[in-house]
Amino acid sequence: MRKVKRRALVMSAFFTAVVAAGVPAFSFDEDEEGEESEEEEDDDSPAWFAVTGGDVYTGVGGLLRGATVLAKNGVIKEIGYDLYIPEDAEVLDASGRRVYPGLVAIDASTRVVEGTVPGPAREEAVELEGDGHDHGLGFEPEAGPELPYQLDQELFDEADDHALDHDEQLVAAFEAVRESGYESLDLDAAAGFVGAGNDLGDEFDPFNYNLVLTLSAGITTVGQSKGVVKLKRYQIEDVVMADRKLISLSWSTGRAKESLRDKFKGAARYVRAYRAWEEEKKQNKDLPEPSRKGVDSTALKILSGEVLARFSNTGRNDLLEIARLAQTYGFRPVFDGCIEGWTVASELGRAGASAIVTPRTRTAKDERLQREAGSSIENAALLYEHGVQVAIIPGDKTIDLMGLAGRDLMHLPIEAAFAVRGGLPQDAAIAGITSVPARLLGVDHRVGTLEVGKDCDLILTDGDLLHYETFVQVTVVEGKVVYEKDKEPYWSHIPDLAPAKAE
């Protein structure tokens, strides 16, 4: 709310300028807008992009039927009616479609952004079959940045000698493929190994089909362990949006708890001393600055709000302990999982907590307990009701085509729909996959809602985003169409729902 107010103030300052450009029914300006527009005016050929005629769900409370979203160089310039659209603008007709902000997955496996390296070609796989069952079928991640070059002479001469077994090998190989589930092998570990400690942007694969499938789910921004990545296609430039903001902290053993408490205690003491010093310095200039020696820098960053503390605890007692810790030292915890959060929702709300929930999680109650325990479909709803910011993520944070389908990143909106089933308001559920994760990732100034000044990342759907039959038809990232359902081989065979009906 505070943010919106601030924007509203800024809006009044720039109102005249905006009016001159059109008559926006809905227009919030970012602070930097003034500077930016001056810079952009120097640009010879700005890339204009307009989405027209769709029902625009802005994510800040407004639903604008048949409105136009106009973007310049990938940034939303205006949202409203009867806008002047420059002649050279690329226009995307969204009539009959709903327009939502691009979704934000707070966590995604590295394979979404780095892709995987496909296995060796078919025959090679077969010829290598004799080498070992798991080998050569093409799924073994290569260790390090190595490429399988042509294999050595002897190996293949040997294979030639066994030419008679070729058919047998072929059958065995394909059966093994079927059994192992082609898509199931998790290459993330290997990808992580390759890129350990390196720059996210240097590993980005803008062509990999996991990324395309992620875009097909409407997701345009993903959190990674190393930072936040915009899912751009066809390019590797400017994809890293921010460094890691969520810092995982351990709250498990007594020792870990004690150590964490001590760190926060030290950091809090330092912050107090520093503030006191700042005040006293006005009178006494020679006063020495308090020493930072022995003060934990991460704890300090958490207390200053620069990064967020993330706890993977799910049990009630842990949640309460952490909430108290947070209140004692003055930071806002992020609970990942938060399965029993619904039993202590008011305490978490008081602590200013955020929660990353998976509504479909099922954990049985410990029957020895008198109190409420275990998972609840109402978790998200109850947390939200008590003021906890709720972000929603599926149980499987990758693109997974094997086994029990429907619980991976491709079903992020479905996961949010389950929260609605538990009583979460529709708006809050959508916020849980857009603006809330954007805020927790520290990129809410760029993504999460459709607002003037933010990136033009949006999706067009053929129905309500949270309806199970709905498909994302078009995904736009920074004013460029990056996914069209009809043009990709993955879902083009599924017909559109009837054009969105009036509610």
Partner 1 sequence: MVLNLKHMSIAIAALLAIQVPVLAGDALAIRVGRAETIANGTVEHAVILVENGRITMVEQDLPIERGIPILDRPEWTAMPGLVLAYTRAGLGGGSASMFEPQRSAAKELYPASSIWETLRESGITTVGLFPTGTGVPGQAVALRPMGKTPAEMILSESAFLKVTLTSDASAKKRLRDGFEEADEHVEKEQKAREKWEKDQEKKKKKKSSKKKDDDEKDDDKDDKEEKDDEPKVFVAPEPDEKVTPFLRWRAGELHAVIAIRKAADYLHLLDVLSDEDVKFDLRLPMRSETDIYEVADKIAEQGCRVVLEPRTAWHPGSRQDRNVARELSEAGVEVVLIPQYDSTSSFERWLSDVGFIVKMGLDREAALRGVTLAAAGMLGLGDRLGSIEAGKDANLLFFDGDPLEPTSNLEAVMLEGEFVSGEVDL
Using the rule CB under 8 A, give the single segment among 48-56, 72-80, 233-241, 470-478 that binds partner 1: 233-241
Out of 156, 174, 277, 491, the only residue in the binding site for partner 1 (CB under 8 A) is 156
By the rule CB under 8 A, 199 interacts with partner 1: yes
Using the rule CB under 8 A, give the single segment among 208-216, 311-319, 356-364, 371-379 that binds partner 1: 208-216
By the rule CB under 8 A, 45 interacts with partner 1: no
Out of 106, 194, 323, 345, the only residue in the binding site for partner 1 (CB under 8 A) is 194
By the rule CB under 8 A, 123 interacts with partner 1: yes
Cross-strand pairs, 115: none
State in angstroms the smallest separation of the CB of 42 from partner 1. 24
**Residue 496 CB contacts under 8 Å (≥ 6 apart), including other chains:** 462, 471, 473
* CA distance linking residue 169 with residue 150, whole number of Å: 20
Q: Is 302 helix (H, G, I), strand (E, B) or coil?
A: helix
110 vs 389, beta carbon nearer partner 1: 110
By the rule CB under 8 A, 459 interacts with partner 1: no
16 vs 153, beta carbon nearer partner 1: 153
State in angstroms the smallest separation of the CB of 403 from partner 1. 17
By the rule CB under 8 A, 202 interacts with partner 1: yes
Using the rule CB under 8 A, give the single segment among 45-53, 60-68, 191-199, 462-470 that binds partner 1: 191-199
Out of 15, 84, 468, 490, the only residue in the binding site for partner 1 (CB under 8 A) is 490
Query: Containing H/E element for 444?
Result: none
Are the beta carbons of 76 and 446 closer than 8 angstroms?
A: no
State in angstroms the smallest separation of the CB of 202 from partner 1. 4
Out of 43, 93, 160, 366, the only residue in the binding site for partner 1 (CB under 8 A) is 160
Long-range contacts of 80-88 (CB under 8 A, 24+ apart): 80/22, 80/23, 80/24, 80/25, 80/26, 80/27, 81/23, 81/25, 82/22, 82/23, 83/22, 83/24, 83/50, 84/21, 84/22, 85/48, 85/50, 85/52, 86/48, 88/45, 88/48
Give the residue among 159, 116, 168, 162 at the shortest CA–CA distance from 138. Answer: 116
Tally of CA atoms within 13 A in the half-sphere of 159 that contains its CB: 19
State in angstroms the smallest separation of the CB of 484 from partner 1. 16
**Tokens representing residue 243 in the block:** 């460094």
Q: Is 262 helix (H, G, I), strand (E, B) or coil?
A: helix
149 vs 294, beta carbon nearer partner 1: 149
At 104, give phi and psi (nearest 5°). -120, 120
Out of 22, 101, 115, 218, the only residue in the binding site for partner 1 (CB under 8 A) is 115
117 vs 377, beta carbon nearer partner 1: 117
By the rule CB under 8 A, 129 interacts with partner 1: no
Are the beta carbons of 98 and 55 closer than 8 angstroms?
A: yes
Are the beta carbons of 310 and 249 closer than 8 angstroms?
A: yes
- Applying CB under 8 A, the site for partner 1 has a residue count of 48
Binding to partner 1 in span 132-151, by CB under 8 A = 138, 144-151
- Burial letters for 198-231: b for 16+ Cβ neighbours within 10 Å, e otherwise? eebeebbbbebbbbbbbbbbbbbbbbbebbbbbb
**Tokens representing residue 436 in the block:** 């809330």
By the rule CB under 8 A, 486 interacts with partner 1: no
64 vs 128, beta carbon nearer partner 1: 128
Q: Is 151 helix (H, G, I), strand (E, B) or coil?
A: coil
Residues at the site binding partner 1, with contacts judged by CB under 8 A: 114-115, 117-125, 127, 138, 144-157, 159-160, 163, 194-195, 198-199, 202-209, 213, 234-236, 489-490
